[in-house]
Structure 1
Amino acid sequence: MTADEEYTSENYPYKKNLRTALPQFLAVSVKNLLLLGYGMTLGFTTILIPAVENPKDGEVLHLEKSEISWISSINLIAVPLGCALSGIVTSPIGRRRAMQMVNVPFFIAWLIFHFSNKTGYLYGALILNGLAGGLLEAPVLTYVAEITQPHLRGTLTATSSMCIILGVFTQFLFGLYLYWRTVALVNIIFTISAVIALCFVPESPHWLVSRKRHDEARKSLQWLRGWTTPQAVEQELKDIQSVYQKEKGSVDVEEPLREKISHYLKRSFLIPFFLISYGFFVGHFSGMTTLQTYAVSIFQKLEAPIDKYYATLVLGILQILGTGTCVLLVHFTGKRPLTFFSTAGAGTCCILLASYDYYIRNNAIAHDSGMHSDVFTNSAAVENSTENIVKNPYSWIPMTLLMLLALISHTGIRMLPWILIGEIFNSKTRSGGAGLASAVGYIFGFLTNKIYINMVDSLFIWGTYGFYGIVCFSGCIVFYIMLPETEGKKLNDIENHFAGIRKLTNNVYRSKKRPPNDATKMENIQGTTNPAFEDDALKP
């Protein structure tokens, strides 16, 4: 049997209808409330920075430039610590309970923000948000991979990033009408809602099987596969049990520490880990991370044709449109085409922006002052050149390019690592790998924001965004060589690919309808089974 024949076979038939898809969508949506709250922590700094840099009358907090750089990045450097602990926390207490508990530091952080009267309090709240954001990575990512069917997994996983972007957008929107301290209180509502909603969705059946709670795992599958009968999910339950079955036939025998570590030294872990880490590197150094963090300040220095806050709002809308496009298309186009399109598109935007800064803006604005004028810095030259900026007929170009960057990057490269992270690690390293890879991603995010101001001071905008463009185009090459098409493929097949057993094709798998003579058999099943997991005995 060829690889393509294997992917289109239906050893475990299931009905693809609204009844089976709805509970999975509901469970993922509830989980997404948590990611919505996390997105709020990322977007909150965007409205906080201008408010404490140029405070209104009566505000006790007034931060200097050096303190502002920490405000934009300190939460991201705290995330890796939470990621490192994420897998450790998830395994003992379960995915659902871990997602509920992580809301506690979020709740405390929002209260600290509201009542803070010293810079240290802001730092403390940001660190709490970062730790909580890291802790949620493993339970959130593994939960989606373990409850969804293959044909839904890519789309439903992509909604995770979409909800983070939506959370960022809510802060842009709230910032237009509410003071930042009031926004912190409003955000608590979403944190409490997430905790309550998680009480109504089932635990991951895979985690339950790993803890020998087979009856609960069966009930979880019944809920997730359309509130069906125990008989309908019995075969899928056996498939899941086979993943955790040990050589002697017992389930969940505790492995020695050395054996656990050995799983992280194998090809099946190292290649996926590199691929996801490199995806994070390209995604953060594509220019979008710094734009999202410094959006208000950037548009202010750009003297954008529209108000800087409304420009930031438009930026958020384009991010949502980009992620929505990815969610809608990934099932049909696959991940590879979207990745190539967005990475090349982001690189083009960065190169064009660098060219604008070097040739047009440098000649049109900075020539008279005899120096390089940079729209992204707080230099006196920029502040004194407002009149020239307003008269510059090309001032719409950089804003348009940045808007396109936000739209294009979120159709693929910004989403790719988060989609892959829940599906390309094997069952033994999924929780730990998700935490470690997420930690690497947030370290890149921290570095991007922390060194941005220094990069602009040293390399100017043309050098900074020229570097971003080179990173994007190099990403196209690496992804072409290393990134397999995983859309619709079974987790066991993906695991075999990275273990070197059998390569995946670059075709998008779409299961075929069964012939008419199998209709009776489908009716007798009265439910659905998930072909995402098979016996490890599958060989070429």
Structure 2
Amino acid sequence: MAIKEEEKEEVREPLFAVEDGSPAHEYSKDNPWMVYLSTFVAVCGSYEFGTCAGYSSPTQSAIREDLNLSLADYSLFGSILTFGAMIGAITSGTIADLVGRKGAMRVYTAFCVTGWLSIYFAKDALALDIGRLATGYGMGAFSYVVPVFIAEIAPKNHRGLLTASNQFMICAGVSVSFIIGNVLTWRALALVALIPCAVLLFGLSFIPESPRWLAKAGRHKEFEASLQKLRGKDADISHEAAEIQDYITTLEQLPKAKLLDLFQKRYLRSIIIGLGLMVCQQFGGINGICFYTSSIFESAGFSPTLGTIIYAIIQVVITGLGAAVVDKVGRKPLLLAHELALQASPILAVTGIMLYIGSFSAGMGAVPWIVMSEIFPINIKGQAGSLATLMNWFGAWLCSYSFNFLMAWSSYGTFIIYAAVYVLAILFIITVVPETKGKTLEQIQAAINV
């Protein structure tokens, strides 16, 4: 009998010998198909983000000709997207906290639908600008709520991969718009942009709400039902549910956070990390490079059309590879690999741009959004996330606005400035940004916000 008992122990032991110390029965019967479905539905918002960002580039000549717009008129049409995104960033956290992550995505989808229809039926610059502002609002709000929703529903061992799919779908939306925009009319392209909106609205009816938001809202039965649905009907959710509830209970003892409360000592590190990564992402020149890729290739004597296609392919492929390995290699290595690779960008024109885009897509493009969705406690997540997203879109506007002025001053000097930003980013990532892979959101936030 002793031998048989030992054999039983040998069989049973791996179930409780999980590497991070968590009880293995949490994972032994997980059926994550609902997590995957929920992520797919949510990242339709990310794809919509990409279609908004990629719309203006292939349609410029046709819109100007059809509506008799001046270059200044079209420049306003293109740039007003960013202002809409900043408004969306300011309000996104509050709306997501009030009506839930799913409710917020419905609101933002409605803005995008309204915007695309306004663009489709536009007869003058005003209707175009109103539509562009509305789609910009939806785009800016999606940039916050999608990674937050995914991070809140995903098991910790798949959270990096699933959250990184946000950036992958943004890149896919941009790339598809670039390609089909050369075939379709600008009005038809606006209608095509409604497809991800339709999929998102339909899919939201079949996926659960974020269990962490439900717990914070005091809807305990719905919280347990949502978590059970996400983990599978046979999964033991008791340990995870208790951990989430304990953390929510601790947070409820704190006063409701206001904007100035974000800068209290207990939250300061997470705010510095969130804002700092967004500064590193945008002030390194990415939107200047993206918006003016064709002119950069042309000035380098390379085919703008071929260069743009290669750009689109590299962006999607590398982002996908980065998403596949982020849970294995961690967040910090991808960020640092990106920063080191970009030091070669000022040296070569075409090769430098491709290296820049490839390394950005693997690291700095996706990972700041992953980390942002992980580090803020749920009681300040709305306001802190809105602040970080606003910083991102302000940086996007400032970078795209200043790029041509900097290039007119000195093309070489422009890239030296961007390289210097990334040198500082390396120091920031090494000294301030924590590694978050393999940890629950509650463990991450408890370690940072002490």
> TM-score surpassing 0.5?
yes
Q: Which amino acid aligns with 2:246?
A: S
Q: Give, in angstroms, the shift of residue 75 of structure 1.
A: 1.1
Deviations 1:326-349 (Å, cap 9, x if unpaired)?
Answer: 111111111111111111212321
1:463 aligns with 2:413: yes
2-structure distance, mates of 1:262, 1:294: 38
Residues 29-63 of structure 1: CA deviation (Å, up to 9, x unaligned) = 1100111011110011222334446x3xxx22333
Q: Aligned partners of 1:74 and 1:29: how far apart in 2? A: 29
- Measure the CA separation in 1 of the matches of 2:362 and 2:145: 24
Q: Offset at 1:67?
A: 4.0
* SS at structure 1 position matched to 2:46: helix
Query: 1:416: Cα distance to partner?
Result: 2.0
Greater Cα radius of gyration, structure 1 or 2: 1
Structure 2: how far apart are the matches of 1:76 and 1:31? Answer: 22
Aligned equivalents of 1:261 and 1:278: distance in 2? 18
Check conservation: 2:283, 2:418, Cα contact below 8 A: yes
State the one-letter code of the partner of 1:415: A
1:287-313 CA-to-partner distances (Å, cap 9, x unmatched) read: 331222223344344442x4x334312
1:461 deviates by 1.2
Partner residue, 1:433 = 384
Among 403, 418, 441, the alignment partner of 1:491 is 441
The alignment status of 1:326 with 2:322, answered yes or no, reads yes
Structure 1 residue 296 corresponds to structure 2 residue 294: yes
Alpha-carbon distance in 2 for matches of 1:279, 1:212 = 32
2:76 to 62, 70, 74: 70
1:20 alignment partner, SS class: coil
2:336 aligns with one of 326, 334, 340? 340
The CA deviation string for residues 424-456 of structure 1, in whole angstroms up to 9 with x for no partner, is 112221222111101110100011111112222
SS of 2:150 mapped into structure 1: helix
2:183 paired residue number: 177
C-alpha contact (below 8 Å) 1:61/1:119 kept by paired residues: no
- Counterpart secondary structure, 1:102: helix
CA deviation vs aligned residue, 1:368-413 (integer Å, no higher than 9, x gap): xxxxxxxxxxxxxxxxxxxxxxxxxxxxxx2232122111111101
* Contact residue 176 and residue 309 of structure 1 kept, 8 A: no
Provide the residue aligned with 2:27 in structure 1: 15
Among 400, 405, 417, the residue aligned to 1:449: 400
Q: Say which SS state the counterpart of residue 108 (structure 1) adopts.
A: helix
Aligned pairs (5 A) from 1:406-425? 406-425=357-376
Structure 2: distance between partners of 1:199 and 1:117: 35
Give 1:138 deviation, angstroms.
4.0
CA distance in 2, matches of 1:310, 1:268: 50
1:285 equivalent in structure 2: 283
Offset of residue 72 of structure 1: 3.7
Counterpart code for 2:58: I
Cα distance change, pair 404–50 in 1 and its aligned pair in 2 (3 A):
farther
Q: CA RMSD in A?
A: 2.4
Shift of the alpha carbon at 1:320?
0.8
Q: Which has the higher contact order (CA 8 A, sep 6+)?
A: 1
| Corresponding residue for residue 60 of structure 1 | 67
In the superposition, relative to structure 1, how do residues 411 and 109 fare at CA in structure 2: closer, same or farther (>3 Å)? same
How many residue pairs match? The answer is 434
| C-alpha separation in 2, matches of 1:454 and 1:241 | 52
Q: 1:113–1:261: structure 2 CA closer, same or farther, 3 Å change rule?
A: closer
| 2:51 matches 1:40 | yes
Report the TM-score when normalising by structure 1: 0.75
Question: Partner residue of 2:7?
Answer: none
Deviation of 1:225 after TM superposition, in Å, equals: 0.3
- Output one character per residue of 1:69-102: Cα deviation in whole Å (capped at 9) or x when no partner: 4344321122122111112111221111111221
* Distance of 2:165 and 2:255 partners within structure 1: 37
C-alpha distance in 1 between matches for 2:343 and 2:119: 37
Post-superposition CA distance 1:181-208 (Å, at most 9, x none):
2111111122111111111100111222
**Could you list the runs of 5+ residues in structure 2 that have no partner in the other structure?**
1-16
Give, in angstroms, the shift of residue 318 of structure 1: 0.6
* Higher normalized helix content (fraction of residues): 2
8 Å Cα contact 1:142/1:431 also seen in 2: no
TM-score, normalised with respect to structure 2: 0.90
Is residue 259 of structure 2 the alignment partner of residue 264 of structure 1?
no
Equivalent-residue separation in structure 1 for 2:106 and 2:179 (angstroms): 26
SS of the equivalent of 2:117 reads helix
1:111 paired residue number: 117
Gaps of 5+ in 1: 354-397, 501-540
Q: Does 1:223 align with 2:229?
A: yes
* Residue of structure 1 equivalent to 2:14: none
Judged with a 3 Å threshold, the aligned counterparts in structure 2 of structure 1 residues 410 and 102 are, in CA distance, closer, same or farther, namely same
1:96 is aligned to 102
The corresponding residue for 1:510 is: none
Deviation at 1:499, TM superposition (A): 2.5
User: Post-superposition shift, 1:142?
Assistant: 2.3
Equivalent residue, structure 1, for 2:153: 147
C-alpha displacement of 1:152 = 0.8
Aligned mates of 2:324, 2:239 — CA distance in 1 = 31
Aligned to 1:479: 429
Q: Aligned-pair distance for 1:482?
A: 0.9
Equivalent position amino acid for 1:44 in 2: Y
Equivalent residue number for residue 40 of structure 2: 29
Query: What does 1:112-127 correspond to in 2, within 5 Å?
Result: 112-127=118-133
Q: CA deviation at 1:160?
A: 0.7
Distance change (3 Å), C-alpha of 1:489 and 1:237: closer
